[in-house]
Structure 1
Amino acid sequence: MTRPSIRRRRGTLGAAAGTALALLLAGLTGCSSGNGPSTEAGGKVTLTFTWWGNEDRAQRTNAAVDLFEKRHPGVTVRTSFAGYEAYVQKLATQAAGGDLPDVAQLDYRQISQYAGSGTLLDLGPYIKNHTLRTAGFDEGLTRTGVYEDRQYALPMGRGSTGIVYDSAVFEKAGVATPRPGWTWDDWAEAGKKVSALGMKGPNGHAYTGLSDIGVNEDAFETWLRSKGRNLYASQHQLGFTADDLTEFWTFTDKLRRQGVVSQAKDTAQIGGAVEDTPMGRGLAATDFNWDAPFLGYPPLVGENVHLAPVPTTDGSVGQYFKPTMLIGVGAGSQHPKEAAELIDFLLNDPDAGTILGVTRSTPPNQKIAAAIGKSLTGPEKEVYDYGRKIAAYGTEAPPMAPPRGDVVLQVAFTRTYQRVAYEMQSPRGAAEDFVAEAKRELR
């Protein structure tokens, strides 16, 4: 069944890079910036392509798709996007009905779930016949799309986590610029100094030094790895204990009680978009996030926002490079060859790489990454330079793809900590409940 096109209008570019992108698109031969949905007349093959992200990512992705259509006149691509949480829910519904889009952006944590349920197409034959080219990718990064020895997805970018911070507020509070090797205690102390300023957010709520990372499983994983442990030991076993999670949630809950991290009512509004974070809403001086969404902060917070490495435990690094997102083909696609060609174009075409920039962090094709790095400016350059800084500082190889139950457990992790934040349960009780639920889910 052909889906209706719901491609967003492209007339107004995002504030972060609108002018530069408009000039770029005007200079690319055969690429139209467009002022509405591209025509579908005359197309012999129609593909559906969906992803999550903000307007800037959508603008650039649609522009790259326009160029693909011009170079493949027999193919029309219908695109759609949404915020992360809405996207994940919709994709799960589509997957359950056997109706996954032809091409879909995927989170690292979804690979085991969808590949294991037969929802994704094995890309191996298209890599073997060179429809999909992976020679320019880091092998370790490429392996993150493998499930049971088959390649079901390819990375769209290489990224890592970081602490987004407002340097002007840090300076006002007398906090030094965060450097590689700073510790979780340093992070907490910075939050205390900022919170002591007594500032207020736009809604009158307290402006805190830190966002509450207790709701964030990614933050917990990074903290856990800095202590020499992992989130998962296998596809059916956790890599940590209730004691480990109790320690983490006791740490974050103590900061909440001290007024150092965002209030529960503000933490509860955190979603998949930068606009939903306490920092994005003008209520905190820092946020824990991946580097790709960093581009969404400057339009909201201002030019003083920057990226710092994730804190360490006595110098032990917990962060790692992972695919910021992956891309795969629905197992039920009627046009798998054309779907593979679209993926290859987005990942390996130099012009597509220039259009997309670092909207999904550093491109996986190392030649394209090096090429675009020479012309980046502003927040995009910061994301690119941050990746190089982290690589020089040292990171470990990415862990195995999480088990199929992890998508459910991510939601459970946030839900369980909310009970702690609202003082309905102790960190110990919540940790024991979560570990028990996780063990049931992973059986």
Structure 2
Amino acid sequence: MPGNRTTWSCATVMVLTLSVLLTGCGGSDEASGGGKTVLRYTWWGNPDRAARTKEAVALFEKEHPGITVQTSFAGYEAYKQKLATQAAGGDAPDVMQLDYRQIDQYASGGILLDLGKQKKALRTDEIDPGPLATGVVDGTQYAIPQGRGTETVVYDAEQWKAAGVKLPRKGWTWDEWADAIRELAEKSGKPGSVDPGQSEDCFEVWLRGQGKALYTKDRTLGFTADDLTRWWTFTDKLRREGAVSSAQQTTQLDGTVENQPLARGKAISDFNWDAPSSGYTPIVGEGLTLAPMPSGANGTPGQYFKPSMFMGAADSTQHPAESAEFIDFMINDEKAAKILGASRGIPVNEPIREDIGPDLKDFDKTVADYQDSVDGKLEPPPQAPPSGDNALQTTFGRDYDQVSFERMTPREAAEDFITEAKAELRS
């Protein structure tokens, strides 16, 4: 392992300790598998992604009769907590799905396998170099991107049209978005949107639209308490007006589609990444539509394309070659790609993307068309955030809860977040 691996910060250890209390130790002894190699594979997602994943895994097992893959999945927040608990306990799964924000944390913590040493089993030559490089930490390839995605305003077009409000358009600003959801709330009698104040992702899009960034190139905060105060003042005012979801609804958000106000009929729109928005389809129906994120006042787009998620393997796995072989299958196999569709974003393997593109249908085609509509119009993505950001996502939502329940002013909460963020990033 590289010699510059760092220890986990005190704040992260506290999060992991809490995770143990909340979820318990998620590890278990591998089954014998009847003499077969047994791999544990975990991911986060919705039921649609789970069904497709299990079908692809079944195909892999059929074509690799000596390997059995044990699968498990959860909503993002529960998954993130459980994976952190397993990693801290030395029980990381053989193969795991990773978010952009987790790679530095797990790589520097000694959790991830050097996939660059598995070139016989894992091909990367047909993956776009840009996205592939985002899985590199200190010159080592620790994770492989599965697809690319971008943020979106996902909405029920039938309800939006029924309210008689002008539909979202390319290039709309945050102020225009706010006016639209106020009008939706007034005419429909329900919030026009989920409250974006709790989302660090939404804040990043807003911040980039102002010409700033979450982090600088030297991995320090790229914004001030004044910036965050402006954001939380903006969203808090909308909540007080009833234009966005209430504090009670917002605190129920746990990363699952089912607990989002849009899915529960409590809002007309939401913010999400494009591919995971498929989870709304069984609930909302054919009216489910994707629109670009609002831009800055001068039209500067804040959203960007990023790898929608990655696959990585545990450094502690007893089966590194088989783990790499499974990752290769999920990313580079044409039959697997047709099963998975756009459930993890549009594939980053260029020949496969071109191959499956004409066959995409239903919401997969919606995602592909949406990406085509913003392709070439977005700013380059930022570098992967520092390891402390994974814990700070939780801090961000917690501090905004204090605002939404009116226990802190936006200024007080912003200053509290900045203080904790600087301490976390120094550790």
Query: TM-score normalized by structure 2?
Result: 0.91
Structure 1 residues 271-286: aligned runs within 5 Å? 271-286=254-269
C-alpha distance in structure 2 between counterparts of 1:82 and 1:111, whole Å:
19
Identity of aligned residues (%): 55
Amino acid paired to 2:261: P
Measured on the aligned residues, the alpha-carbon RMSD in Å equals 1.5
Cα deviation, 1:14-38, whole Å, max 9, x if unaligned, reads: xxxxxxxxxxxxxxxxxxxxxxxxx
**Is 1:381 matched up with 2:351?**
no
C-alpha distance in structure 1 between counterparts of 2:225 and 2:50, whole Å:
40
SS in 2 for 1:95: helix
SS in 1 for 2:69: strand
Match of 1:77 among 69, 72, 94: 69
The unaligned stretches of length 5 or more in structure 1 are 6-39, 200-206
The unaligned stretches of length 5 or more in structure 2 are 1-26
Q: Does the Cα contact within 8 Å between 2:30 and 2:38 map onto a contact in 1?
A: no
C-alpha distance in structure 2 between counterparts of 1:161 and 1:198, whole Å:
25
Deviation at 1:133, TM superposition (A): 1.5
Match of 2:350 among 366, 373, 381: 366
**Is 1:269 matched up with 2:252?**
yes
1:107 corresponds to: 99
Q: Does the Cα contact within 8 Å between 1:43 and 1:75 map onto a contact in 2?
A: no
Q: Does the Cα contact within 8 Å between 1:156 and 1:323 map onto a contact in 2?
A: yes
C-alpha distance in structure 1 between counterparts of 2:35 and 2:265, whole Å:
46
Q: Does the Cα contact within 8 Å between 1:269 and 1:276 map onto a contact in 2?
A: yes
Cα deviation, 1:297-354, whole Å, max 9, x if unaligned, reads: 1211221110000010131001111111111010001110010000000000000001
CA change 1:41–1:267 in 2 (3 A) is: closer
Cα deviation, 1:195-245, whole Å, max 9, x if unaligned, reads: 11252xxxxxxx111110000000000110111111011464101000110
1:327 corresponds to: 311
**Is 1:337 matched up with 2:321?**
yes
**Is 1:410 matched up with 2:393?**
yes
Q: Does the Cα contact within 8 Å between 1:42 and 1:74 map onto a contact in 2?
A: no
**Is 1:429 matched up with 2:418?**
no
2:382 corresponds to: 399
Deviation at 1:169, TM superposition (A): 2.1
Deviation at 1:398, TM superposition (A): 1.8
1:301 corresponds to: 284
SS in 2 for 1:324: strand
Structure 1 residues 99-178: aligned runs within 5 Å? 99-127=91-119, 129=120, 131-178=121-168
Cα deviation, 1:219-273, whole Å, max 9, x if unaligned, reads: 0001101111110114641010001100100110111111111111111111111
Bigger CA drift: 409-418 or 71-80? Answer: 71-80
Match of 1:349 among 333, 336, 339: 333
CA change 1:235–1:52 in 2 (3 A) is: farther
Structure 1 residues 209-224: aligned runs within 5 Å? 209-224=192-207
1:195 corresponds to: 185
SS in 1 for 2:102: helix
Cα deviation, 1:385-417, whole Å, max 9, x if unaligned, reads: 11111214x112221111111111000000000
C-alpha distance in structure 2 between counterparts of 1:81 and 1:242, whole Å:
37
Amino acid paired to 2:166: A
Deviation at 1:41, TM superposition (A): 5.4
Q: Does the Cα contact within 8 Å between 2:44 and 2:75 map onto a contact in 1?
A: yes
SS in 1 for 2:187: coil
1:34 corresponds to: none
1:181 corresponds to: 171
Q: Does the Cα contact within 8 Å between 1:169 and 1:194 map onto a contact in 2?
A: no
Query: TM-score normalized by structure 1?
Result: 0.87
Amino acid paired to 1:387: Q
Amino acid paired to 1:385: D
